[in-house]
Structures are given as structure tokens and as C-alpha cells.
Amino acid sequence: MALKKLRPTTPGQRFRVAPAFDEITTATPEKSLLAPSKKSGGRNNSGKMTMRYMGGGHKQKYRVIDFKRTKHGVPATVKTIEYDPNRTARIALLYYADGEKSYIIAPSGIQVGTEIVSGPGNAPEVGNCLPLSDIPLGTIIHNIELQPGQGATLARSAGSYAQLVAREGRYATIKLPSGELRMVLVNCYATVGTVSNSDHMNVKIGKAGRNRWLGKRPRVRGVAMNPVDHPMGGGEGKSSGGHPRSRKGLLAKGLKTRSKKKHSEKLIVNRGKK
């Protein structure tokens, strides 16, 4: 994916770095794979705002993505590479040999006309979905299941990937994007390759209005509030506010929030980056 720097014809375009959308092959999504997407604007069933900084945004349709890839042994051809407003990665429309259609998260480097397949015993090529027991060690993977048949949950956002580093008995060890080493059952499925749109991290929004189109309202810093509204509020002039805390007084930097009693705790080999 390429980026484009726009001419500074307006203040909003002066610092904007926009996606070029070179890889997108169609602007019209597959109608049979669309679902309605309702926005709450951060309000609950009685209309009270329970989540701040949400609201507005462009109307969107949800694209139904196949995270399970259960059509084993049936080859599929990539028909289009499309933009998805609900996620950072690009999506690919597959036409299966038996006539069925489905969307998947597009791996980096996949093109229209590429033939991919899922299921055990297939070649570990980009876009193919295989159990971890069939993938060679050292392979770069994404869309990884945590429970067999659950569907992909790990390494799904733009440019992310994990690496299969070891296999022993019932478990395979994978290195996640965070640096964490984690054991996953070898009969869980993963897709070979990296998620597309790796340049997403370098995009610059350019103006506040574009964030409003994304459904984000302005966020107020805790230091700018009064003491009654936030633990970091108050003080004379621009005072920093002491230790960073949440609105409820919990430490915001470095406080561990994961439960030590979580059942999957024993599957984590190494927490990764300190």
C-alpha cells in the first residue's frame, strides 16, 4: 500500500498523509455479504451517555468476514480487494469453486486471480489457512485461533503478524505482535502471511473533522478539568496533575489489570516487552 502527501491547499490538507488506495479494485461491496451496523452514540437503553467521546460518524454497513475458513479442500479465487470501513485492514472477496462467496481479511501481497485454499495438508502459501500442526516453524502467520473452531482472534489488524516459533506435543508456541510468547493448541487454524495495509500506522488524519466522520468526538484531558471531575484536575495555571490516573483514580500507566486467576495464564510463556 502506498501513501500520498497532499498539496497544502487548505489548513486541513497541509499535514495530511492519506492512503493512496492503489490496491483497491472495486468500490461496490458484495450485497449478499452486507449486514446493518447500528450506532449507539455511547448511549444506553434509556438514552443516558455511558461512554464518552463517541457519536456521529458516517453511516456504515458491516461486511460479514469469514474468520473460521471452514470450507476445507474447496479452492477459492480472489475476485476483488476492497476497503472495509469497520477495520484497518483490506478485505478480499473469494469466489469458491462450488459457487459460494465470502470475505476474508486480505493478506499482504495477495492479488485478484490468486487461488487459495483452507484445510489440513495444503501448501503453506500466502492466504492459505492451515492448522498450526501443518505450518513449518518460523512461518509468519496471522488470523490465529485461540480455541479450535472459534474463528480467528489474534493478529487481525493492518500490518500485524505473528510467528510460529516452536511445537511440542499438543501445543505450538507463537510469538505475538506484542512480543508475548504464548502456547496455542496445534489443531487451531492460522492463515499464512502478513495482514495487508501495513502503512496504516503512517496515515495522518489532517483535521478534526475527519475524526468526526469516524464517529469520534473531542476528548478532554483530565488535567484540563476541575478537581470535582477528575483526580488530575485543578491547580493554578498549567499544572501537570501528578501521577497519571483514570477518572476513577486507578493508575493509568503500568498498572496490571489482567486477572492472575485467568485460565489461559498458564499458556503464556513470556510476557514480552517490559
Convert the pLDDT of each residue in 13-49 to its tens digit. Answer: 999 999 999 999 999 999 999 999 999 999 999 999 9
- Tell me the average pLDDT across 142-151: 96
Give the H/E segment covering residue 92. strand 91-96
Three-state DSSP at 162 gives strand
Closest C-alpha among 98, 103, 80, 93 to residue 21: 80
- Name the grid cell of 202: 503512517
What digits encode the pLDDT tens for the residues 241-262?
788 999 999 999 988 888 999 9
Q: Helical H runs in the chain?
A: 11-14, 208-213
List CB contacts of 110: < 8 A, sequence separation 6 or more.
78, 81, 92, 116, 126, 127, 193, 196
- The secondary structure of residue 142, as a DSSP letter, is E
Report the relative pairing of strands 17-19 and 115-116 from DSSP bridges.
unpaired
Confidence at 1, pLDDT banded by 50, 70, 90: low
- Which residues does 181 contact at the CB level (< 8 Å), separation at least 6? 165, 173, 174, 175, 268, 269, 270, 272
**How far is 211 from 205, CA to CA, in rounded Å?**
7
Exposure on the CB side of residue 264, measured as CA atoms within 13 A: 12
Cell 477459492 sits at which residue? 76
- Quote the mean pLDDT of the chain: 95
pTM of the model: 0.91
pLDDT for 242? 82
What pLDDT does 227 receive?
92
Model pLDDT, residue 2: 87
Q: Can you give the pLDDT at residue 274?
A: 59
- The beta-carbon contacts of 261-268 under 8 Å, at least 24 apart in sequence, are 264/146, 267/171, 267/182, 267/183, 267/184, 268/180, 268/181, 268/182, 268/183
Q: Does domain 22-41+55-200 have CATH number 2.60.40.10?
A: no
Residue 120 has pLDDT above 90, yes or no: yes
